[in-house]
Structure 1
Amino acid sequence: MILERKSYMDFKQIAKDFRSERGVPEEPAIAELEQLNELFALAQAGANEIGTKLENLDSEFQVKHDHNPIHHIEERIKSVQSLMKKLDKKGLDRKVENIEDNISDIAGLRVVTNYLDDIYLVEKILVNQSDVMLLKRKDYVKNPKPSGYRSLHLVVSVPVFQASGSQDVKVEIQI
Structure 2
Amino acid sequence: MDFTRTVLTRRMIRAFKPDPVPKEKIARILAIAQHYPSAGYSQEVAFVVVTDKERRKKICELRDLKSNPPVLLIPCVSERIVHDRYNEPDKIRSGGKEIDWPVPFWYFDVGCSCMLVFLAAANEGLAASFAGSVGIFKPGLLRKEVGIPEHYEPVGVLSLGYPDPAREVPSPSLKRGRRPVKDFVHYEKW
The structure with more strand, counted as a fraction of residues:
1
Give me the TM-score of the superposition, normalised by structure 2.
Answer: 0.35
* Larger relative contact order, structure 1 or 2 (CA cutoff 8 Å, min sep 6): 2
Give me the TM-score of the superposition, normalised by structure 1.
Answer: 0.37
